[in-house]
Structure 1
Amino acid sequence: MVTAAAQDQWRLLDVQGHDIRLTQIAHKKGTLPELAKIAELEKKLAEVDDVLVKARTVATDAQRELTKAEGDVAQVRQRAERNQARLDAGQGSAKDLQAIQHELESLAARQSVLEDAELEVMERQETAEAAVRGATAKRDEVLAEIAEAGAARDKQVAVLDEEAVAEARERETAAGGIPKELLALYERIRESSHGVGAAKLYQRRCEGCRMTLPPNDLARIRAAAENAVVRCEECGRILVRTADSGL
């Protein structure tokens, strides 16, 4: 059975207080509001990126269509210009010139159709480019929000890290005078008991599990030597006896 002077057992409560605070600091670091905000913004960014990819695909396809439409119109215009030049020069027989005139009329009609198609594609391409610009602006906006939230998170983490360092230093000082055997027992219990290895026995109640001890347990503890390290039968934690234990 582990034994330790009463004052060494009291020191365990100081160590436990520092350990609880360190656990609280770690929990706070992991649950900062900025973390949830960043996670939400990153989800939003993924959605915006998806919209941007689709918008760019539509814009690329529209540009490809527009390039083809412009080429088709240019090709008809060039043929019409060549035919007009031949007609103006009076090259060929009357029959040939008449055929050229008919072809010019057909080319004019074809050009009108192609130009209408080109205009329609151009409008779609402009709409698609506007969508790309809008999605890009939205992405920049979300990235700025992520950067802002990240800076706020880093500031909070720095404060908590500084607090944790100071707390760990005080914890080391508090644990410095405790016998190794007692401290090792405390650490083993703490690891398996949700971070609490020692608790005060206050008004006949274990402050670790909040259970009021039954008479037979109180009798056992009352009969134990002052340097005996007693434990709660309910939760297994070290029970530190004080003037307020109610024994």
Structure 2
Amino acid sequence: MSYQDILYEVADRIATITLNRPDRMNAWTPVMEREVRTAMQQAATDGDVRVIVLTGAGRGFCAGADMQVLQTIDPADVRRAADLPPFDMNRRADWQTRYAFYPSIDKPIIGMLNGATAGIGLVHALYCDVRFAADSAVFTTAFARRGLIAEHGISWMLPRIVGHANALDLLLSARRVSADEALRMGMVNRLYPADQLCEQTYAYARDLADNVAPKSMQVIKRQLYEVPFQTLAEATIEANREMAISLASDDFKEGVASFVEKRPPRFSNV
């Protein structure tokens, strides 16, 4: 299908979703919102896709909401947008809200943050499972400096990634954070020189796609996003149940065989 504000392509079992308004630093629009959601659904249901990469065109990842759109926004439109149907009816309600559907996608999502990541752009980056950034990238929550509050679940997600104190600092001050500081506080997993970011990100994505069982990634991702709602006993019981299933699977046999035979694994799609 064709898109207006994003690009979508699949290669080497990796789906790439690119925010594509480089002249506006990929500022977020209602059109982009609908298209990202549709593209994520497309990648989630494509049996040939094992990994998803979310990035931005040009010099930035996403500079936040488009200010021209914000100037004319109707609060009633915001409420209507929040009433979208669930992304996946089988997942908990926590992952059914407007932007919090990323954890319900059973494939790893890598945020390739090539530049400025602000406001709603930072929200989407935080919902990615792994974040790689250019060493020139800059981050800001932005909301408080626009007279807004901590939007779209960032008050829940950010402390779990950078810790309570860091989250309060970033949300209250809405200050600019360098890539180095973002790495130190755990906001991003890795930094690369801007000219190496794409190469390194896709090397990681291809390793996942080629050498890791899709079913294992699916279950592990679900386990980690369920943990905040579980006790240790509940998480352990669930892990023991999934372990028994995995030990009886063809993927486990293939994983052992490929290791013994010193060859690439041939795991089944989910």
Same fold (TM over 0.5): no
The structure number with the bigger radius of gyration is 1
TM-score scaled by length of structure 2: 0.19
TM-score scaled by length of structure 1: 0.20
Q: Which has the higher helix share?
A: 1
* More contact order relative to length (CA 8 Å, sep ≥ 6): 1
Q: Which has the higher strand share?
A: 2
